[in-house]
Amino acid sequence: MATTENDIKKSLQELLNSGNLDFRSILNLTKELSKLDVKHQRFSVDAKTLVHLGRDSIKDHTTALLELVKNSYDADAKNVEVDVFCKKGKDLIRVADNGFGMTNDELINYWLRIGFSSKRKSKQSGLGRRKTGEKGIGRISTDRLGANLELLTKTEKDGIIGLKVNWNDFDTEGKDVFEIDVEVIHPTTINLPLINGQESKTGTEIRVTQLRQPWTINNIENLYYELSALTPPFKDVEDFQVILKNDVAPEFSKMVNSDFFKASEIELTAVYDGTGSEIIYTIKDRYTKKEKTEIIQWKNLLTKIENDGTTDVSEDLRCGPVILRLLFFLREAASVQGTEFKLTELREFLDINQGIKIYRDNIAVKPYGFPSSQFGYDWLGLASRKAKDPAGISRGEQSYSITPNQLIGAVYITRDKNIELSDSAAREGLVESGAFYDLRSFILGSIIMLESYRVSIYSTIEKSREKRKPAASKEAEQIKLQLSNVKEGLESIKEEIATQKLSSSQVNFSRPIEKSIEQVEGITEKFEKTITELLNWTRVLSGLATMGISSAVFGHETEGSINLFKTATDTAKMFLKVSPPDIQNAIIEIDKALVHSRKVASWGSYALTRVQREKRRKAPINIKTKIIDNIVKDLKPAFEVSSITLESKGESLVSKTYQMDIESILVNLLTNSYTACNQKSGKRKVIVFIGREDRRNQKGYYFSVSDTGHGIAKEFLNRIYDPLFSTKIAATGESKSIGTGLGLTIVKSIVNELDGEITYDQDPELKGARFKIWLPKE
Amino acid sequence: MEKGKEKTAKRIAIVDDSPDQRDTYKKRLSLFLQQKGSMLEVIDTYPFTDVNQYFDWIIAEDIIALIFDEKLHNESQSGRTPVNYNGSSIVLKIRERFKDIPIFTLTNYPDDSDLQLVFSEYECILSKKDFTEKHVDIILRACQRYLNENQKELSQFDELSKKIASGKAQGDDINILQALQLKLQIPFTSDLKDREDWLKEYEKQITALEQIKKEIESKIKK
Measured CA to CA, the distance from residue A579 to residue A594 in angstroms comes to 25
**Together in a domain, A214 and A286:** no
User: Residue A312: what pLDDT?
Assistant: 55
Kindly report the pTM of this predicted structure. 0.46
Give the model's confidence band at A287: pLDDT under 50 very low, under 70 low, under 90 confident, else very high. Answer: confident
**Together in a domain, A25 and A124:** no
Q: Å from B97 to nearest chain A CA? A: 22
Yes or no, beta carbons of B20 and A564 under 8 Å apart: yes
Phi, psi for residue A552 in degrees, rounded to 5: -60, -35
Give the model's confidence band at A380: pLDDT under 50 very low, under 70 low, under 90 confident, else very high. Answer: confident
Yes or no, beta carbons of A567 and B84 under 8 Å apart: no
Which of A252, A268, A295 is the last residue before a domain boundary? A252
Residues from chain B that touch A638, judged by Cβ atoms under 8 A, are none
Between chain A and chain B, the number of residue pairs with CB atoms below 8 A apart is 86
Question: A489 lies in a domain?
Answer: no
Cα–Cα–Cα angle for B157, B160, B166, nearest 5°? 140
**Together in a domain, A175 and A213:** yes
Domain extent at residue A551: 537-776
Yes or no, beta carbons of A684 and B89 under 8 Å apart: no
Question: A116 lies in a domain?
Answer: yes
Q: Å from B91 to nearest chain A CA? A: 14
Radius of gyration over every alpha carbon of chain B, rounded to an integer in angstroms: 25
What residues of A are in the B interface, CB distance below 8 Å?
556, 559-560, 562-564, 566-568, 570-571, 574-575, 578, 585, 588-589, 592, 595-596, 641-643, 678, 680-684, 730-732, 734, 736
For residues A554 and A600, the answer to whether their CB atoms sit within 8 Å is no
Question: A480 lies in a domain?
Answer: no
> Of the ranges A97-101, A342-346, A480-484, which one carries the lowest mean pLDDT score?
A342-346
Using CB atoms, pick whichever of A559, A566, A585 lies closest to residue B27: A585
Those residues with Cβ within 8 angstroms of residue A137's Cβ, 6 or more apart along the chain or in another chain:
A53, A54, A57, A58, A67
What domain count does chain A have?
Answer: 4
For residues B128 and A571, the answer to whether their CB atoms sit within 8 Å is no
Q: For residue A254, how far is the Cα from the chain centroid?
A: 28
Q: What number is the average pLDDT over the span A336-352?
A: 68
Which of A232, A252, A272 is the last residue before a domain boundary? A252
Question: A503 lies in a domain?
Answer: no
Interface test with A, best of B20, B48, B90, B113 (most A CBs within 10 A): B20
Amino acid at B135: H
**Together in a domain, A63 and A80:** yes
Question: A531 lies in a domain?
Answer: no
Give the model's confidence band at B126: pLDDT under 50 very low, under 70 low, under 90 confident, else very high. Answer: very high
Task: State which residue of chain B sits closest to A730, comparing Cα positions.
Answer: B114
What are the CA-CA distances from residue A133 to residues A52, A73, A153, A372, B124 (Å)? 19, 10, 19, 21, 67
Yes or no, beta carbons of B113 and A683 under 8 Å apart: no
User: Residue A72: what pLDDT?
Assistant: 86
Beta-bridged to residue A155, according to DSSP, are A159
**Together in a domain, A273 and A179:** no
Residues from chain B that touch A641, judged by Cβ atoms under 8 A, are 18, 74-75
For residues B80 and B50, the answer to whether their CB atoms sit within 8 Å is no
**Together in a domain, A456 and A375:** yes
Beta-bridged to residue B43, according to DSSP, are B13
Interface test with B, best of A571, A587, A590, A592 (most B CBs within 10 A): A571
Q: Å from A592 to nearest chain B CA? A: 7
Question: A528 lies in a domain?
Answer: no
**Together in a domain, A563 and A673:** yes
Those residues with Cβ within 8 angstroms of residue B200's Cβ, 6 or more apart along the chain or in another chain:
none
User: Residue A159: what pLDDT?
Assistant: 92
Could you report the per-residue pLDDT of A613-632, keeping only the tens digit for each? 777 788 899 999 989 998 89
Averaged confidence pLDDT in chain A: 81
**Together in a domain, A162 and A303:** no
User: Residue A244: what pLDDT?
Assistant: 92
Question: A513 lies in a domain?
Answer: no
131-170 in B: which are within 8 Å (CB) of A? Answer: 131
Beta-bridged to residue A328, according to DSSP, are A266, A407
**Together in a domain, A281 and A248:** no
pLDDT at A738 over 70: no
Residues from chain B that touch A681, judged by Cβ atoms under 8 A, are 73, 81-84
Which of A252, A275, A299 is the last residue before a domain boundary? A252
Give the model's confidence band at B40: pLDDT under 50 very low, under 70 low, under 90 confident, else very high. Answer: very high
Could you report the per-residue pLDDT of A412-441, keeping only the tens digit for each? 898 888 888 887 765 568 888 888 888 988
Using CB atoms, pick whichever of A567, A680, A731 lies closest to residue B24: A567
Could you report the per-residue pLDDT of A2-40, keeping only the tens digit for each? 468 889 999 999 999 988 888 989 988 998 899 899 899
> Of the ranges A169-173, A505-509, A712-716, B121-125, which one carries the lowest mean pLDDT score?
A505-509
Q: What number is the average pLDDT over the span B107-111?
A: 88
Beta-bridged to residue A124, according to DSSP, are A130
**Together in a domain, A446 and A428:** yes
**Together in a domain, A146 and A291:** no
Give the model's confidence band at A242: pLDDT under 50 very low, under 70 low, under 90 confident, else very high. Answer: confident
Question: How many residues would you count in chain A?
Answer: 778
Averaged confidence pLDDT in chain B: 84
For residues A152 and A162, the answer to whether their CB atoms sit within 8 Å is yes
Question: A700 lies in a domain?
Answer: yes
The CATH number linked to A187 is 3.30.565.10
Could you report the per-residue pLDDT of B148-206, keeping only the tens digit for each? 888 787 777 778 888 877 777 777 887 888 777 776 665 555 455 556 677 777 788 88
B111 interfaces chain A, CB cutoff of 8 Å: no
Using CB atoms, pick whichever of A574, A684, A730 lies closest to residue B31: A574
User: Residue A392: what pLDDT?
Assistant: 60
Nearest-CA neighbor of A167 among A140, A135, A206, A136?
A140
Yes or no, beta carbons of B74 and A678 under 8 Å apart: yes
Q: Which of A131-135, A286-290, A480-484, A702-706 has the highest mean pLDDT?
A: A702-706
B38 interfaces chain A, CB cutoff of 8 Å: no
Yes or no, beta carbons of B76 and A643 under 8 Å apart: yes
Q: What is the DSSP letter of A236?
A: T
Give the model's confidence band at B43: pLDDT under 50 very low, under 70 low, under 90 confident, else very high. Answer: very high
**Together in a domain, A272 and A231:** no
